[in-house]
Structure 1
Amino acid sequence: MNGLPSVAIVIPSWNGVAHLPDCLDSIEELDYPRDRIEVVVVDNGSTDGSSALIEESYPQVHVVALDENRGFAEACNEGARRATSECVALLNNDMRVEPGWLRGLVAGYEPDAGYVCVAGVILDWDGERIDFAGGWVNFHAAAGNEHFHAPLNEALIEDGRDLPFACGGSMLIAQDVFLELGGFDPAYFAFYEDVDLGWRLWLAGYKVRLSGASRCFHRHHSTGASIPSDRQMLLLERNALWTLIKNVDDENLAPLVASALFLVVMRGVLASPSPRFDAVAEVVADLPQLLERRSDVQRRRKRSDTEIFELFGRPFAPLLETEPYVEASVAVRTLFGLDRLFTRQRATRVLVVGSGDSARLPEMARFLSDLSDVAVLAPGRSADVLEELLTESDLVLVGATTPHARTIAEKTAGLLVVDLADGTDVECPELRQRADVLLSPEDGLQALRDLVREPWRRRRGTAEVPVPEDLQQLLRHRRERRAANRPAGRFARAMSRAIPTRFEDSVRRLVGRSRLTA
């Protein structure tokens, strides 16, 4: 790309008079040529004097005044339509940006290589915690931010990595591509419109990446908090279903939508009365228009679902952590054979088996704890505890001289990594044969990050995820309940009886028991 592109910074705003000065003042300090920037505030029918404030204090800002609150999605679209620049940078009104924010986004913009959309890093207002540094999507199109609200740690920010979507609060996109694809789906109003756009970009042959150098600061949900909680839940549930129905191909549509609907109902049952049922009703009522929008999305398809699913990161992340819901998630996933669709899952549960003579394992455990959920098993713990942790972990890290070598070789379900950093070799032939990865003394912590991010690249044998995330949580629930000697509730027992034989067989095979106990 020759030279810096012109950029329209589009800021949707509804009653944002308390936030706009910080936002617009920070834009004035941008390290970017002034003649390459236009600033557009789309006022969503505000009644707090926002437009008057801008006209009086920021005359260089172009205000697009809408007669009513049309939602985040349509406000962004209207701003993009009014813009005259090559690129559109979307920014929430409750943000302030670093001087290098825009240059950072532009540095990742590489349309000739397909990267027409770039996400920026979003921190909390004090710059101490992460709001967005990457995202994940699960199989029913719900999404989340990786490391959300974790303390700022530069090791968690991977500049240039591919993302399934860019957060709409801080992103850059080619204006012509944004408008060609229809922008954000205005029917969404708010929530998940950026997930849907990211999916459509990838389907249409484009790419999305993260710019680690682009930083802004967010008063999290200060605007979103104005939406009543029941309405927020309806939008989240409905928009996830819309995203799924629009974007997956014909072969995968029925099993994924059926699975998603089962789980919406399950969440509703567990939290009744619930606007989740209203979300399903709105999806059904909107089906004719939704299928028209789906037809437009599918017409632009240049990538298969398999290619898109590989970006999800945590396809089996359950939205509720209660045991009945996790049981339902596992049962539905197994019933519809979703394991064949989603074969790539980042390591979400890591077990580090301690060894008294290893100096590097504790350091590795600390490093991994920023990337994943880590359990550390001290030497001398019972074999039963070790076996249960081995079956519920999708990455197991051990020292070469661990006294539990044979048990680990036999019972590990996930990726098995053996650390040779102390210069020792693997003495147990079963452990050496079973190990997927041998870490040499020269392998640094970056090698561990790669294993957590993409364990499938080193996994041998089955192509399926060995321990899906929902199964990890279910096994943990049952282990903790047995340890506390708590009986299963009536609902959990009923769910256990309803779980298909195929599911029970797979869990028995992992756990090594002849019968599952509720």
Structure 2
Amino acid sequence: MNRIGIVILNWNGKDLLEKFLPSVVSYSKRDWAEIIVADNASNDDSIAFLEKNYPEINLIKLDKNYGFAEGYNRALAQLSHSYFVLLNSDVEVSENWLDSIYQQFESNPDIAAAQPKIKAYHKKTDFEYAGAAGGFIDYLAYPFCRGRIFDNIEEDRSQFNKNIDIFWASGAALFIRSEIYNKIGGLDSDFFAHMEEIDLCWRIKNQGYRIICDTNSTVYHVGGATLPNNSSRKLFLNFRNNLLMLYKNLPANNFIFTLLIRMCLDGVAALKFLLSGEFANFFAVFRAHLSFYSLLNKFRQKRKVLVAKTTCKNHKEIYKKSIVIDYYLRKKKSFSSLDF
């Protein structure tokens, strides 16, 4: 039986598959690994391309575009591997990218999820925005990484080659135990896309499991292949999903205070967009809050269930200060400059 299922979710990404799938095939030839492409009802030539050029790849055909979260949930429900790798279609992998993390899982049953070092495909000396050398959040749930704080991306000078525990692993190349994925409930389909992996990892951490970055493994990510970084749709999803994530996972002792501060800071961001003439971004934040309010009843039930399952509330991987203040006022632009 194949121990690892490498699952690539595709939607109209024939060009990406053509470009990046060869590296995955070349560097994943293991007796214990299998490559699967789950297709979100593409209407380009993705299916024909795969069936003609990669008949050995397991192809899961979904009946419509379920987005990132539900697309993966439906695909992974059909698989029986011990470990899953959720791999973006715009990722180039390197030789031996699987081996070290596989050994970590086999040797450490308390490790639930992991990510490799993620570097930029178009500038391979630098870390990549979505994950870099491991993800963290501050106490207001602003995400950042070893190697990337907001838009400041560091060059990889081997400064983060130590394997460490992290708070969240990037969905660009997320390794996870299938048993934990199913136990935790998978990705939250109400998120559709963006920040769903941070929410998943927060739930994992709240149940006492470890998440690591193994820098012995390296992949190269394009990023923004589905939605560009300047997309107002992406901004809407990020703002809304961050609030949903907070609402679900914050411990009760600072729940209201933290949520109110975040909502106020969202208001400041919206005002900045308005004054800068970025009207699409202003309305994206406005719509994000309206959508958040519309989902409150549903998420109140989710929170109730999750709070009852929480066994670990204090995480050393959550930065106790404000990354916003550190970055913009104290000019701390690198991970190493933070007071962890």
Task: Establish whether TM, by shorter chain, passes 0.5.
Answer: yes
Q: Match for residue 222 of structure 2?
A: 219
Q: Match for residue 294 of structure 2?
A: 285
Distance 1:25 1:233, change over 3 A: same
Q: Match for residue 233 of structure 1?
A: 235
Distance (whole Å) between structure 2 residues aligned to residue 124 and residue 42 of structure 1:
24
Which of 285, 310, 319 is equivalent to 1:313?
319
Distance 1:315 1:197, change over 3 A: farther
CA positional deviation for 1:315: 4.1
Contact 2:2 2:34 in 1 (8 A): no
Describe the superposition over 1:61-100 as per-residue Cα deviations: whole angstroms up to 9, x where unpaired: 1222223322111122222212121100110000111121
Structure 1 SS opposite 2:13: coil
Contact 1:23 1:95 in 2 (8 A): yes
Distance (whole Å) between structure 2 residues aligned to residue 110 and residue 313 of structure 1:
30
Distance (whole Å) between structure 2 residues aligned to residue 18 and residue 80 of structure 1:
24
Amino acid at match of 1:72: F
Distance 1:11 1:314, change over 3 A: farther
Amino acid at match of 1:130: F
Distance 1:105 1:249, change over 3 A: same
Contact 1:164 1:198 in 2 (8 A): yes
CA positional deviation for 1:181: 0.9
Which of 145, 156, 162 is equivalent to 2:160?
156
Give the superposed CA RMSD.
Answer: 2.4
Amino acid at match of 1:153: R
Describe the superposition over 1:144-196 as per-residue Cα deviations: whole angstroms up to 9, x where unpaired: 2332332221122322x010010011121110110111111111111111111
Structure 2 SS opposite 1:19: helix
Q: Match for residue 103 of structure 1?
A: 99
Which of 180, 183, 187 is equivalent to 1:184?
187
Count of residues paired in the alignment = 325
Distance (whole Å) between structure 2 residues aligned to residue 320 and residue 68 of structure 1:
43
Structure 1 SS opposite 2:323: coil
Which of 17, 22, 32 is equivalent to 1:20?
17
User: TM-score, normalization: structure 1?
Assistant: 0.59
Describe the superposition over 1:373-428 as per-residue Cα deviations: whole angstroms up to 9, x where unpaired: 5xxxxxxxxxxxxxxxxxxxxxxxxxxxxxxxxxxxxxxxxxxxxxxxxxxxxxxx
Distance 1:371 1:261, change over 3 A: closer
Q: Match for residue 93 of structure 1?
A: 89
Distance (whole Å) between structure 1 residues aligned to residue 110 and residue 212 of structure 2:
10
Consecutive unaligned residues of structure 1, counting only runs of 5 or more, are 327-346, 350-368, 374-451, 455-518
Q: Does 1:135 align with 2:145?
A: no
Distance 1:65 1:115, change over 3 A: same
Distance (whole Å) between structure 1 residues aligned to residue 326 and residue 300 of structure 2:
29
Distance 1:57 1:32, change over 3 A: closer
Q: Match for residue 70 of structure 1?
A: 66
Q: Match for residue 514 of structure 1?
A: none
Query: Identical aligned pairs, as a percentage?
Result: 23
Structure 1 SS opposite 2:165: coil
Contact 1:15 1:46 in 2 (8 A): yes
Q: Match for residue 49 of structure 1?
A: 45
Amino acid at match of 1:18: D
Residues 115-134 of structure 1: pairs in structure 2 closer than 5 A = 115-125=111-121, 126-131=123-128, 132-134=132-134
Amino acid at match of 2:84: V
Describe the superposition over 1:416-456 as per-residue Cα deviations: whole angstroms up to 9, x where unpaired: xxxxxxxxxxxxxxxxxxxxxxxxxxxxxxxxxxxx664xx
Amino acid at match of 2:272: L
Amino acid at match of 2:86: L
Amino acid at match of 2:231: S
Residues 384-399 of structure 1: pairs in structure 2 closer than 5 A = none
Q: Match for residue 7 of structure 1?
A: 4
CA positional deviation for 1:239: 0.5
Residues 431-470 of structure 1: pairs in structure 2 closer than 5 A = 454=340
Distance (whole Å) between structure 2 residues aligned to residue 5 and residue 14 of structure 1:
25
Distance 1:299 1:232, change over 3 A: same
Structure 1 SS opposite 2:318: coil
Describe the superposition over 1:26-81 as per-residue Cα deviations: whole angstroms up to 9, x where unpaired: 122226523x2222211122222111111111111122222332211112222221
Contact 2:25 2:35 in 1 (8 A): no
